[in-house]
C-alpha cells in the first residue's frame, strides 16, 4: 500500500482535466500539493479551494513546460523553497490531430517538448532526490496509444509509446530501491483534451469515452497495489490484448478508422 497523509505530490498540467482530478483525489487523501500549469488564475482558484476543503498545503507554480529549461526551473524552485516531493505526477500533455503533412512542425515539436522532454527532465531531476530521501513515487500519464500507432495522431502516439516504455524500464530499475514507477494508460477521456486538438469527439458510443474521475480512481488503486501500469477500461484492455494477436499493420489501420470516426476527422 501507499501512504499519502502528510506527503507532498507535484502534479503537472493540474489546472484542468485529469491533472485537476489528480489534485482533488490526492488532497482528499491527505497529501500536500505543488500544482503546476500555465494559467496562474486557475491554479490559484484550485489551490484556495483544496486547501480550505481538505486542510492541506497547496503551492502553485505557473510555468510553461513546453519551454526549454522549464522542468529544471521547477526543480530549482522546489529545492530552494525546501519543498520535498514524494510523488511526481507527470500529467501535462496534449495531442495534435490530422494528416501529418498538414500539422505545423512547430506544434509537433511543442507536443514532443511537453509530452517527452519535460517528463524526462522532471523525472531525471526528482529521482536523485527520492533516492536520497529513501523513498518516492512517480505516476506517468501514458495512453492506450502507447500500444499501437495512432492514425491521425502519429506524434502523440509516438510520445506516449516513449512514456510507457520509459516507465516500464524505470519500474524495473527502481522497484527495489524505494521508488515505485507507474504508468496510467487511459483511452479517450471526457476533458478539454479534444478542444486543444481543435476537435469535438463524437458521442460516447459503447461507453468508449471515460470520465476523468474514474480514470484517476482506477489508476490510484492500481498504483497503491504496486502495479507497473494500468489499463483503465474494457476498451484499453481490448486494444492492448489485440496488439498481441493481430498484425501491427492491421491494428494501426483499425485505430486510424476509429480516430477518423471518433474525432470527426475527414480521413484525407
* Mean pLDDT taken over the chain: 90
Cα–Cα distance, 10 to 73 (Å, whole number): 14
Lowest mean pLDDT among 175-179, 231-235, 256-260: 256-260
All domains of the chain in start order, with CATH: 8-262 (3.40.50.720)
User: What's the whole-number mean pLDDT along residues 254-259?
Assistant: 74
Name the pTM for this structure. 0.90
- For residue 247, the model assigns a pLDDT of 82
Question: Which of the residues are catalytic?
Answer: 156
- 190 by Cβ neighbours in 10 Å (0-12 / 13-18 / 19+) ranks as middle
User: According to the model, what pLDDT value does residue 267 have?
Assistant: 46
Please give the pLDDT value at position 203.
45
Q: Helix, strand, or coil here: 195?
A: helix
- Tens of pLDDT, residues 65-114: 999 999 999 999 999 999 999 999 999 999 988 889 999 999 999 999 99
Alpha carbons 75 and 61: distance in angstroms, whole number: 11
User: What is the mean pLDDT of the segment spanning 34-40?
Assistant: 97
Neighbours of 6 (CB within 10 A): 10
C-alpha cell of 232? 483503465
Cα distance between residue 156 and residue 150, in whole Å: 8
Q: Does 198 score more than 80 pLDDT?
A: no
Measure CA 143 to chain center: 8
b/e map of 28-53 (b: 16 or more CB within 10 Å)? ebebbbbbbbbeeebbeebbeebbee
In angstroms, rounded to a whole number, what is the distance separating the alpha carbons of residues 174 and 260?
39
User: Is residue 3's pLDDT more than 90?
Assistant: yes
Q: Select from 16, 24, 21, 14 the least CA-distant residue to 49.
A: 24
Instruction: Report whether pLDDT(266) > 70.
Output: no
Give the containing element (helix H, strand E) for 24. Answer: helix 17-28
| Residue that has been written with the C-alpha cell 500555465 in this structure | 38
Residue 205 has pLDDT above 70, yes or no: no
Amino acid at each position: 500500500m501507499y501512504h499519502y497523509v502528510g506527503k507532498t505530490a507535484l502534479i503537472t498540467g493540474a489546472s484542468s482535466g485529469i491533472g485537476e482530478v489528480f489534485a482533488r483525489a490526492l488532497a482528499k487523501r491527505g497529501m500536500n500539493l505543488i500544482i503546476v500549469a500555465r494559467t496562474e488564475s486557475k491554479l490559484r482558484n484550485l489551490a484556495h479551494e483544496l486547501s480550505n476543503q481538505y486542510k492541506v498545503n497547496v503551492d502553485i507554480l505557473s510555468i510553461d513546460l513546453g519551454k526549454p529549461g522549464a522542468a529544471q526551473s521547477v526543480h530549482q524552485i522546489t529545492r530552494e523553497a525546501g519543498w520535498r516531493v514524494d510523488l511526481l505526477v507527470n500529467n501535462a500533455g496534449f495531442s495534435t490531430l490530422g494528416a501529418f503533412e498538414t500539422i505545423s512542425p512547430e506544434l509537433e515539436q511543442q507536443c514532443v517538448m511537453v509530452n517527452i522532454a519535460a517528463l524526462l527532465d522532471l523525472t531525471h531531476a526528482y529521482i536523485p532526490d527520492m533516492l536520497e530521501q529513501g523513498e518516492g513515487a512517480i505516476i506517468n500519464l501514458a495512453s492506450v496509444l502507447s500500444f499501437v500507432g495512432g492514425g491521425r495522431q502519429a506524434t502523440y502516439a509516438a510520445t506516449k509509446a516513449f512514456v510507457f516504455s520509459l516507465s516500464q524500464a524505470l519500474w524495473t530499475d527502481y522497484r527495489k530501491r524505494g521508488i515505485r514507477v507507474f504508468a496510467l494508460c487511459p483511452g479517450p477521456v471526457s476533458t478539454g483534451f479534444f478542444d486543444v486538438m481543435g476537435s469535438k469527439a463524437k458521442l460516447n458510443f459503447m461507453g468508449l469515452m471515460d470520465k476523468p474521475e474514474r480514470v484517476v480512481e482506477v489508476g490510484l488503486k492500481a498504483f497503491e497495489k504496486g502495479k507497473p501500469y494500468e489499463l483503465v477500461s474494457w476498451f484499453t484492455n481490448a486494444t492492448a490484448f489485440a496488439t498481441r494477436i493481430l498484425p501491427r499493420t492491421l491494428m494501426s489501420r483499425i485505430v486510424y478508422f476509429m480516430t477518423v470516426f471518433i474525432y470527426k476527422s475527414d480521413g484525407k
